[in-house]
Each structure stands twice: as C-alpha cells, then as structure tokens.
Structure 1
Amino acid sequence: MSRQQGFSLVELMISLLLGTIITGAVIQVLVSSRVTNSLNQAVAQVQESGRFIMTRLSRELVEVGRYDTVSATIDNSVDVVSEAAYVENHPIVLIGDMANDTTLGSTQEGSTGHDTLVVSMLDSQDCTGSNHGYVDDEEFHVVNHYFVSDSKLKCTGYDGRVLRGLKASAVSAKTVTLLDNVVSFQVQYGISDEAENSTGQAISYVTANDLEGLRANNQQVVALRWGLLLRSYENQVVQTATPRFAVLNEDAVTMDNRHYYQVFTKTLALRNMKNFVRSSR
C-alpha cells in the first residue's frame, strides 16, 4: 500500500512567503496606480480651470478703457463726450472715484490676502451678462468688480452711470462666481510714462496702492498683469514635500500637501488705453 506524499512544512512556508510577496507587489502596483490616477485628475482639473479663467479674463479685460464716441449703439441719455473722457481717464476704478459708492475700488492686499480689481469700459453688458435695463446691444458705461470670497473668484457688474450719480438704478447689481478653488488673486498695473512723453508702452508695473499718485502725475494704466494660484479638490493627492508658491510680487507662502497647486499668470496690453495715451501727446 503506497503512502501519499504531501508538502513539507518548509515547502508550505516557502509557498506562503512567495504568495505574500506577490500579493504585496500587486497591492503596491494598485495603490501606485490609484495615486498616479488621482494626481493626473488633479493636474487636469487645475489646468482646465486655469485655461478657462485666463481666457475669460483676457476677453473681458482687453476692453478696459474702451469708449468709442462714434459708435451708433451707445445709449446717449447722458453726455457721451464727458463720459468718454471719464472712462478713458479712469480705466481702473480707485476708492473714492464713484460718488454713489466711495468704497468701491481696486485694492492691494498683500501675500495673505486677495487683490481686488475694478475696471471701466464701454460695453453692452457687464461681467454677469446683465444689460442693466438698457435696450439689447445698446452700450453704456460698464464697471466690473473682480474679487475673491470663500475661495471663489467672483465678479459684480455695475452701471457706471448709476455709480457716478448720473441716473437712478434700473436693475440691481448682480454677482456671479467665475471659478472655485482660488488660493490667491494678485494684480499689477503697467504704467505709461507721463502723457507728453509716452509712447503708450508700460515702463513699470505697480500695485493698486501706487495708482492714485501716478494718475495725478498724468500717467495711465496701459497694461494689466494678474496671477492666480489655484488648487485641486481636497484629498486628491498626497505630496511628500510641502509646496511653496509666490504669485507675482508677493512673498512665497506654504501650502498643504493634500492638494495639487499651480500658478497662472498673464500680461495683457490694453490697446484702447495705449491708443488714448498716444493721442494725448
């Protein structure tokens, strides 16, 4: 009668060890794949958001300072020549500029805060899509206020004529959210030389705190430079190092390692203001 041969204890232990090693390797590959996939999703989300907001801001801000008095679509219920002079000389709204809201204006807040940007232009609607009760496609003095609240980049649109006290409000100002997950929003302003010497080019970039004095010196904003630090949704990634980021002229700040972060910057020449400065020589 033959005896059945089984595995020895040593063979069983070797088999278990090999199985454990293989299982561990498979788990490590799966975890690594999941981490890589999460990082790729975070990068794609942040980059898509960055492309969207930079394109939108570029499209809206390129019109800053525009006022074409010969346009057939301007609502002429006010003195458009006087309004044109005001918009062209106040493309960037500063605190105290608007009679009916003296607190509204562009500000510089530093590394731990967000700048605010308030701009003037001639357009048929504000950044929220509102025409403030004017006839469709009729142009008027638009004022757009860009700011960050609760990590969201927002914009409030105004009728500049109401802000200046030239007419009563027909429609309440609206606010829209442009983008989520905004960590920092910073703005710099490209300043021309004094009007009589200027070619319309920016000779330096300054913050909102410097604009009042430069305006008094007959120097105009002819370019805008803005930067945004965006982050991914929470817990999408785990980074081994704690990242640090600086936006434009601000000091670098330390972020957590549970998000993916990226800085987006853009410099935009304001062609309407460049032409205005050249024509003022």
Structure 2
Amino acid sequence: MKKSIAGFTLIELMISLALGTIVTAAALMLFISGQRDIALQQASADIQSSGNFGLGFITKDIRLANLDAANTLLKRDTIYGGVVVTTSNYPQSMQQAVSGKNVFSSATGSISNVKDPFSGAMIGSAQLVIQFKAQNDGFNCEGKAYTAGNYIVERYFLREDTGVGNEPNKPLGLACEATSYVDGANGFNNSTFGSGSGQLIIRRVDYFHVLLNVSNNDNSTFKYLDMGNYATDSTNPHINAVQIGMLVRSNDGIGGNNLRSDQQYQVLNQSVIVNDNNIGTPFLRKVIQQTVALRNAGLGISDTVTAVGGQ
C-alpha cells in the first residue's frame, strides 16, 4: 500500500510568504521609527545641553558688563562702558589703537546660515562686545587668567567650526575671544583681538541676534534697538538690558526629509529662513532667547542724577 505524502499546496506557500513579508515589513518599520525617535531625542538633548550650558556661561559674563565703571549710566559715549558700541566707550589712551578694528558691538555683522524670508538676502549675525573692570583675579571666556584691576573685554560672535567633516551647511558656532588692558595703556594685551578665532561656546548656531533695551533720559519710554540702530540713534538713550537670541541646530541629522524650505523662525524681532543649501539633510532647530538686565548700568536712574561707580 502506498503511503500518502503530506505537504503544502502552492496557495498555502504563497499565503505564508505574504504573511511573512507583512510581519518583516512591520518589524522593519518599528525599527526605523525607533531609530528616528532616538535620533530626535539625541538632537533635542544636544540643543538643550548646549543651549543651557552656553546661555548660562554667556549671561554670567554679560551681568558683569559695566562693573566698576566710571559712570553707572551706560550709553554709547560712556567711557569704560559695559556694552562697547563706539570708540567713545574706550578711554582716550585706547581710542587710536581700536579705531577701525572689529572691536565694537556695532561692527559689521558676522556670517550666518539664514536669509530674509521676503527678499531672500543673506542676513549677517550680530556680535556683542562687553567690558568690565576685574575686582579679583579670574578667568575670561577663553579660559585665560586675568588680573584684578585690569579692564576685561570679551567679544561674542559666530565663526566657522574648523576641523569637522562634510556638512550640508557651514558648521557655525558661537565663539568668544577676550583680551584686557590697563588704565592709561594705548593698546590691548592681545594685539590680534578683533580678528582671532576665539573659543567656541555653543556649537552649531545658524544665527545670532542681539537687541538692547534702552530708555530715554527720564526713563519714561523704553524700547528695543539692534546695534546698528542704537549706534545711530540721535537721542543716545540709556542701555538697561541686553537681549540675545540664537537659532541653534542639532549636531547630527534627524532622519527623514520633512524640512520645508520656507520654514520661518522668529529670533527676537527678526524673521529668518534657513538657506536653501541646508535643506539636503534635516536637522532639529530651536530658537533660544535670553534677556539679561544690566544691574551695573544704573537701572531707573535719570540723567539728572549723578551716578558714579557700577555696583
């Protein structure tokens, strides 16, 4: 007697293959989704850590601006003024040495990765130059030691991060370079100040913007001005606070390609879009902003009151 041979029919095999393909595809989709979630979480962590650390570091130094200045009222013609806007913020002995150099907040803006959403023109980032008189020995934003009694000058600006691999856009970062001078000197202790690369504080910053909170002589009117408009304001208002804003992106891409080329970001009073060359690889981006009141700048004091010595 012949034994019957059991097996699968062609239809059963086709159904099994189809079900296996569906299960494999579902597992693959879960894996890809998980990888994207990990990349997104890592990108968010990058921005949070760099933003929190960087902002804390910067605001700590900005609060020192105008410390122990000759005049608490901070304006663009205040000698030793904490926010360095024009040549007049340096003493007479220094003015020839700084003339024409990039050692002012109102100097030509630095590079960026953004452009105007309406005209399409590239928008240069701002820079911020502050100074204060050191009451004790300490370390500047580059980690270099300074001596009590010296005037410390620090410049925050964007520069390209050198020594990195290929990226779809310029690998910009917020950097700070520092120097110092003594009262009566006719130059900085670092002759290259204003053109150096400085120390990177926050990596991958596409745009850096600065506004000044200013008020008129009797403190009845307050407004925000960028450095260019403040430098040319005929009323020469008081500076009360510094507002900084940055468009920070993650170090690595987040997978997928759902980034719109016309995505607008609001950085303080400036709307920007990312340059088209950056669309190839999507990055997580976030606007980080901070307002720092200058407690050494005579908040609430009018021009009719003599204020000497920042406290």
Residue from 199, 215, 224 that aligns with 1:192: 215
Q: Structure 1 residues 168, 266: closer, same or farther in 2, change over 3 A?
A: closer
Q: Do residues 158 (structure 1) and 179 (structure 2) align? A: yes
Greater percentage in helix: 1
Q: Among 282, 288, 292, which residue is 1:268 paired with?
A: 292
* Aligned partners of 2:209 and 2:267 also within 8 Å: yes
The answer to whether residue 223 in structure 2 is matched with residue 204 in structure 1 is: yes
Q: Aligned pair count?
A: 253
Q: For 1:81-92, what aligned pairs fall within 5 Å after superposition?
A: 86-87=79-80, 90-92=81-83
Q: Give the CA deviation at 1:4.
A: 1.5
Asked if 2 retains the 8 angstrom alpha-carbon contact of 1:231 and 1:261, the reply is: yes
Instruction: Check the 8 A contact 1:224/1:268 in 2, yes or no.
Output: yes
TM alignment of 1:25-36, pairs within 5 A: 25-36=26-37
Kindly report the root-mean-square deviation, in angstroms, between the aligned alpha carbons of the 2 structures: 2.6
For 2:55, the equivalent position in structure 1 comes to 54
Q: Which residue of 1 aligns with 2:244?
A: 226
**Residue from 127, 140, 146 that aligns with 1:116:** 127
Deviations 1:157-191, CA, capped at 9 Å, x for gaps: 121448xx625655565721112101000000010
Normalized against structure 1, the TM-score is what?
0.80
The residue aligned with 1:105 is 104
The one-letter amino acid of 1:11's match is E
Matches within 5 A, 1:122-141: 122-123=133-134, 124=137, 125-132=139-146, 134=147, 138-141=148-151
Distance 2:96 2:22 in 1: 75
Kindly tell me: are residues 170 and 38 of structure 1, through their superposed partners in 2, closer, same or farther at Cα, counting changes over 3 Å?
closer
Aligned to 2:265: 245
CA contact (8 A) 2:97 2:186 kept: no
Change in CA separation of 1:269 and 1:280 when aligned onto 2, cut-off 3 Å: farther
* Partner residue, 1:17: 18
**Residue segments in structure 2 that go unaligned for 5+ positions in a row:** 71-77, 89-94, 110-114, 117-122, 161-171, 306-311
Give the match's secondary structure for 2:210. strand
Higher relative contact order (CA 8 A, sep 6+): 2
The letter for the 1-side match of 2:8 is F
Q: Is the 8 A contact 1:223 1:267 kept in 2?
A: yes
Q: TM-score, normalised by structure 2?
A: 0.73
Deviates more, 1:248-257 or 1:202-211: 248-257
* Identity within the alignment, %: 23
CA shift in 2, pair 1:159/1:277, >3 Å: farther
Indicate if the aligned counterparts of 1:142 and 1:159 stay in contact, CA closer than 8 A: yes
Counterpart for residue 76 of structure 1: none
Instruction: Measure, in 1, the Cα distance between the counterparts of 2:303 and 2:296.
Output: 11
Counterpart residue number, 1:78: none
